Amino acid sequence: MDIPYVIGVDMGGTNTAFGVVDRRGAILYRGSISTRDYTTGEEYIDALGNAINYSIQSNHLKGQIKGIGMGVPNGNMNDGTIEKAANIPWSKNVVTPLAAMLTAKTGLSCKLTNDANAAALGEMIYGAAKGMKDFIVITLGTGVGSGIVSNGQLIVGHDGFAGELGHVTMVRNNGRPCGCGRSGCLETYTSATGVARTAREFLDMNPEMNSLLKEIDYRPITSKDVYEAAQKGDELAIEVFNFTGKILGEAFCDFIAFTSPKAIILFGGLAHSGKFLLDPLKKAMDSHILSVYKGKTEIILSQLNDAEAAILGAGALAWE
């Protein structure tokens, strides 16, 4: 018999949200727990398992859940572990077999991967990549993440950690320092944080230029400020997006030379910048792409609702 539901778990640095999801991507029931309120992975899984078991019981879903899929920071899909996730205190220095622990607690099979891979599965099953076998999802948030699908399968690599495209090197000399300890990484330029950084740089470098962004001196500039200024026609803000789009477009040319995807799907906060990001991005791709790939790869904005995508994507793991 066809089992109608899965549970998708989106583990963030602060909160962990989960939902019971059906095959069409409707979320029947939602729950959440804190991620940070625990001192060990055991305590965390105990609380999460209790919350999941309660949701199954109270909704009379026993026997109707196919399995659990989790999107977790530094998730290793091959081993079902979370490995030294810097932003989660109880994970910082250890490898924790979260999937097996949650199975023991709930009696349900459990798979996990990182959030960008979960987003890619979500797009394939419910979103913009429906029916595609070769595509890449790029998440543009605080950092830049990626989920790569080729031949209809997620690429996780020999160690479960493939797809760190936010850390390809875009500037080899005097690149911006990156949180990873190196410099010049894509995410230092094209994440939401990178956009704010570019705005501050451009303001410093162009003291003579007028900009709405100069009025913000009581707090750090954010990528949202840059977007809002660009919408009002602010020249400096538009230049910030031109710079960002160009670097992202050139990076995409290298990505296409790798797996030749039918589409690259943009996901996350910065993807909502619309034409300000897309126009220079596509222009850079057009002028820089290897001729064999010219005009073949679509750039698409995610069609999934940001708030639901993480749960749907994680749940998608359990349909596989």
- Counting contacts by CB under 8 A, is residue 79 touching a copy of itself? no
Q: Are strands 135-140 and 263-267 parallel, antiparallel or unpaired?
A: parallel
Q: CA separation (Å) from 51 to 30, 62, 251, 281?
A: 10, 14, 42, 43
Smallest gap from residue 9 Cβ to a copy of itself (A): 22
Of 152 and 220, the one with the shorter C-beta distance to a copy of itself is: 152
Of 45 and 156, the one with the shorter C-beta distance to a copy of itself is: 156
Q: What tokens were used for 203?
A: 């303001």
- Counting contacts by CB under 8 A, is residue 212 touching a copy of itself? no
17 strand-pairing partners: 10, 32
Q: Which residue's entry shows tokens 């018999």? A: 1
- Counting contacts by CB under 8 A, is residue 317 touching a copy of itself? no
CA distance 35 to 98: 13
Give the one residue of 26, 104, 290, 307 binding a copy of itself; rule: CB under 8 A: 290
Chain CA centroid to CA 1, Å = 34
- Counting contacts by CB under 8 A, is residue 291 touching a copy of itself? yes
- Binding to a copy of itself by CB under 8 A, coded x per residue (else -) over 123-162, reads ---------xxx-------------x-xx-x-xxxxxxxx
Smallest gap from residue 107 Cβ to a copy of itself (A): 29
Element (H, E) at 263: strand 263-267
Q: Go through 20-40 and write b for each residue having 16 or more CB atoms within 10 A of its CB, e for each that does not.
A: bbeeebebeeebebebeebee
SS3 of residue 119 by DSSP: helix
- Counting contacts by CB under 8 A, is residue 169 touching a copy of itself? yes
Smallest gap from residue 71 Cβ to a copy of itself (A): 17
Q: Are strands 15-22 and 27-34 parallel, antiparallel or unpaired?
A: antiparallel
Give the one residue of 79, 260, 279, 301 binding a copy of itself; rule: CB under 8 A: 260
Q: What tokens were used for 53?
A: 């078991």
- Counting contacts by CB under 8 A, is residue 275 touching a copy of itself? no
Q: Which residues bind a copy of itself (CB under 8 A)?
A: 74, 132-134, 148, 150-151, 153, 155-165, 167-172, 180-182, 250, 253-255, 257-262, 288, 290-293, 296
